[in-house]
Chains A and B, each alone.
Chain A
Amino acid sequence: SAVISQKPSRDICQRGTSLTIQCQVDSQVTMMFWYRQQPGQSLTLIATANQGSEATYESGFVIDKFPISRPNLTFSTLTVSNMSPEDSSIYLCSVESGGETQYFGPGTRLLVL
């Protein structure tokens, strides 16, 4: 199994600012995933982050808006840049461990005013 922590757990931000969300895993994992869950919607994959390479972004998400770092096998950050109220969501990171199920972090609840 894998235990994942995220910081911050929640934040309220002003439009135009940026927020960096941290994801820490208690074991080394190859792939980390960042998801967004907008209010009342299902989860949507933003990008896949592999250590030592550029993140792979899904359609509709770009690196300028959601830059991702993956400096080692246990840590990743997602930045939400130049925020607008439409970015208000829950952001979750997840990992796949041992070819089994995916493990999810507790989420970061973001409100942009």
Chain B
Amino acid sequence: KNEVEQSPQNLTAQEGEFITINCSYSVGISALHWLQQHPGGGIVSLFMLSSGKKKHGRLIATINIQEKHSSLHITASHPRDSAVYICAAQQGGSEKLVFGKGTKLTVNP
């Protein structure tokens, strides 16, 4: 079993829909990262959070430390949001990241 599990693996939505991607982890963490990977391969860091909730534009990330679960929400989704979203757990006392397999999001116009 992977230490970081994401669901769903693939997600197709219509423009404007509210999107939720889930991440569960089994390791002790100091932080949880959400990353965005576009088809070219480059990765952009969206959030790093260790508690509560963060918001940036239409993106919201939440984490529940007790339940070892995090969610990434996209409000008013747009075709340009189409990408692979990756959850990564930063293990306590380390800079190392353990990655989920990613969620491929396709937003259709």
Interface residues of chain A, those whose CB is within 8 Å of chain B, are 31, 33, 37, 41-45, 48, 90, 92, 94, 96, 100-107, 109
Inter-chain contact A102/B102, CB cutoff 8 Å? no
Inter-chain contact B86/A107, CB cutoff 8 Å? no
Which residues of B are found within 8 Å of A48, using beta-carbon distances?
A: 95-96
Which residues of B are found within 8 Å of A37, using beta-carbon distances?
A: 41
Q: A-B pairs with CB below 8 Å: how many?
A: 51
Inter-chain contact A107/B41, CB cutoff 8 Å? yes
Inter-chain contact A45/B44, CB cutoff 8 Å? no
Inter-chain contact B40/A42, CB cutoff 8 Å? no
Inter-chain contact A31/B43, CB cutoff 8 Å? no
Q: List 6 A-B contacts (CB under 8 A).
A: A92-B43, A101-B33, A102-B45, A102-B48, A104-B43, A107-B41
Interface of A is mostly: strand
Inter-chain contact A109/B41, CB cutoff 8 Å? yes
Whole-angstrom distance between the Cβ of B68 and the nearest chain A Cβ: 18
Inter-chain contact A104/B86, CB cutoff 8 Å? no
B42 touches A (CB below 8 Å): yes
Which residues of B are found within 8 Å of A104, using beta-carbon distances?
A: 35, 42-45
B101 touches A (CB below 8 Å): yes
User: Contact size class for B?
Assistant: 20 to 34
Most B C-beta atoms less than 10 A away, residue of A43, A45, A94, A107: A43
Which residues of B are found within 8 Å of A44, using beta-carbon distances?
A: 99
A106 is contacted by which of B40, B45, B101 (Cβ under 8 Å)? B40
Taking A31-B95, A43-B88 as known contacts, 20 extra A-B pairs with beta carbons closer than 8 A to each other, sorted by chain A number, are A37-B41, A42-B2, A42-B86, A42-B100, A42-B101, A43-B86, A44-B99, A45-B96, A90-B41, A92-B43, A96-B95, A100-B48, A101-B33, A101-B45, A102-B33, A102-B95, A102-B97, A104-B44, A106-B42, A109-B40
Which residues of A are found within 8 Å of B102, using beta-carbon distances?
A: 42
B45 is contacted by which of A41, A90, A103 (Cβ under 8 Å)? A103
Which residues of A are found within 8 Å of B40, using beta-carbon distances?
A: 106-107, 109
Residue in B closest to A37 when the chains form the complex, CB atoms: B41
